[in-house]
Amino acid sequence: MINFNYETDFILESEEEVTKWVIETISAEGFKLEEVNYVFCDDDYLHKLNVEFLKHDTLTDIISFDYSIGKIIQGDVFISVERVKENAIDFGVEFIDELHRVIIHGILHYCGYKDKTAEEAKTMRNKENFYLAQRINN
């Protein structure tokens, strides 16, 4: 099950399509969905979580809490809509494209992908691009 929660005025207009896409991604990676909660929020909300739980006093676009067990995906994904909007401008992409990248980024972490090293980040970006293309083609 995928749940969408809102701690800001933003509402994702394509919940059903995103749900289908995320489930297909999880399946393609050889995992099974139990439950993922997406929480869309603002910078202040996510900053507080970042400081409290990760001890990082910085702004970020996403924080994911992974409760997966083996191949069963469970977790909470917090996304700052403000940060995603700013990043989209900085990267010269459409907001919805950057939002989809962040949405799938959290799922890829649950599937075992990391992004701490340059090589891991490259692999993560390639996977993001692959699944973004799947979304566009569906």
Q: pLDDT tens across 23-47, in order? A: 999 999 999 999 999 999 999 999 9
Angle at CA of residue 8, ends 5 and 14, nearest 5°: 55
**51 pLDDT higher than 60:** yes
What is the spatial distance between Cα 37 and Cα 44, in angstroms, rounded to a whole number? 19
Query: Would the annotation count 61 as a binding residue?
Result: no
Mean pLDDT computed over every residue of the chain: 93
Q: Where are the domains of the chain?
A: 2-137
Q: Judge: domain 2-137, CATH 3.40.50.720.
A: no
**Phi–psi pair at 70, nearest 5 degrees:** 60, -125
**In contact, 73 and 33? CB cutoff 8 Å:** yes
What is the spatial distance between Cα 15 and Cα 19, in angstroms, rounded to a whole number? 6
At residue 50, the pLDDT reads 81
Could you give the percent of the chain with pLDDT greater than 70?
A: 98
At residue 138, the pLDDT reads 54
Query: Would the annotation count 66 as a binding residue?
Result: no
**136 pLDDT higher than 80:** no
Query: Would the annotation count 105 as a binding residue?
Result: yes
